[in-house]
Structure 1
Amino acid sequence: MTADGIYEPVQVHFDDLDAMGLLHNSRYALLVERAIGAYWQRLGWAPDPARSVFKDVFLAVREFKVTYHAPIAGAGEPMVHFWMERMGRTSGVYGFRVLSADRSLVHADGYRVNVNLDPATLRPEPFSAELRAAAEPLLRTPLPC
């Protein structure tokens, strides 16, 4: 982790490519999902409440926006840079960039909104103190005006 977020390498496989040999547009979301998931899994998060160190295990994506800048051609290992723009009571907003392996080229950027749900009711539920503490290093500090 760096002061401006996490840089997580991800793998682009041959079957992620479209007929032109470019990363299919739908796969950018998958790369971001894999990068964020890898980070949280290293901290002990698991989708099974019996195995997770966090009680917050039922998180749903509410919104996902991607802006494409330069295509990824062929299989390889790009980098996903992500951080949290904000964390509310029941939802959090991740910012992200999909970068070339050497971080010199931005392939895509955007944001993803996650909502913490109560598994019984499927209604938004406040984040636990443990999850908030673990997310703290991801939160960007706003620049002074």
Structure 2
Amino acid sequence: MTHTALAPAPFEVDYGHVEPIAVYFDDHDPMGIVHNARYPVLLERAITPYWTARGHYFDHNGPSTPDLFHAVREFSITYHRPIRGAGEVLVHFWLDTFGETSARYGFRFLSSDGRTCYAEGHRAIVRLDQVTLRPTPWTEAAREVALPLLKPERSLEPEEVA
């Protein structure tokens, strides 16, 4: 699959990052609205380019950094309005926390003009050791990429996840 460059986000945010993403026909349910189970995929479509552009990506050799070996611990979303039809939406995402071994993203799905919030929520992830599958610390490289995503009142807080 090739990726088509989407227009840059039409507005600035005070924190985090805004990524335009494409919503396709197959993201919809029989009623013509984005299926609730597709939102985690759409969120991945937004977060992945941010990290890829900063050296954290998967290719035929596997992950470029050990920080990509992580698992979703929690995903919560509140739906406000349905996304109808194919086209572009914006995903505003940020980090509420970036701890020793875990991170908690906040996110919003917005209309292409940024005026309508379709859904919002959070997603927590845990970095895992590839051998033991136990939580393990993020690298300094990941911390450098994460820092600009932190919401201003938040910090790189130590946070342990068992």
Question: What is the TM-score of this pair, normalised by structure 2?
Answer: 0.82
Equivalent in 4, 7, 12 of residue 15 of structure 2: 4
Question: 2:120 & 2:52 partners in 1: Cα distance?
Answer: 23
Question: 2:146 & 2:136 partners in 1: Cα distance?
Answer: 16
How far residue 47 of structure 1 moved from its aligned partner, in angstroms, is 3.3
Where 1:10 maps in the other structure, the secondary structure is strand
Question: 2:129 & 2:140 partners in 1: Cα distance?
Answer: 15
Question: 1:32 & 1:98 partners in 2: Cα distance?
Answer: 8
**Unpaired segments ≥5 residues, structure 1:** none
- Kindly report the root-mean-square deviation, in angstroms, between the aligned alpha carbons of the 2 structures: 1.8
Question: 1:77 & 1:86 partners in 2: Cα distance?
Answer: 28
- 1:75-100 deviation digits (Å, cap 9, x = unpaired): 11100000000111100000000000
Where 1:20 maps in the other structure, the secondary structure is coil
How far residue 59 of structure 1 moved from its aligned partner, in angstroms, is 1.2
Q: What residue identity is the alignment partner of 1:99?
A: L
Tell me which residue corresponds to 2:107: 96
How far residue 102 of structure 1 moved from its aligned partner, in angstroms, is 0.5
Structure 1: 4+ residue segments shifted above 4 A: 48-53
Asked if 1:86 corresponds to 2:102, the answer is no
Question: 1:124 & 1:39 partners in 2: Cα distance?
Answer: 23
Asked if 1:106 corresponds to 2:122, the answer is no
Question: 2:130 & 2:137 partners in 1: Cα distance?
Answer: 12
Asked if 1:119 corresponds to 2:135, the answer is no
Q: What residue identity is the alignment partner of 1:92?
A: A
Tell me which residue corresponds to 1:38: 49
How far residue 133 of structure 1 moved from its aligned partner, in angstroms, is 1.3
Is the alpha carbon distance of 1:87 and 1:106 closer, same or farther for their aligned partners in structure 2, counting shifts above 3 Å? same
For these two proteins, the number of residue pairs brought into alignment is: 143
Q: Could you tell me whether the CA contact under 8 Å between 1:49 and 1:57 is conserved in 2? A: no
Where 1:43 maps in the other structure, the secondary structure is coil
Is the alpha carbon distance of 1:89 and 1:48 closer, same or farther for their aligned partners in structure 2, counting shifts above 3 Å? farther
Question: 2:142 & 2:152 partners in 1: Cα distance?
Answer: 18
Where 2:19 maps in the other structure, the secondary structure is strand
How far residue 128 of structure 1 moved from its aligned partner, in angstroms, is 0.7
Question: What is the TM-score of this pair, normalised by structure 1?
Answer: 0.92
How far residue 33 of structure 1 moved from its aligned partner, in angstroms, is 1.1
Where 2:23 maps in the other structure, the secondary structure is coil
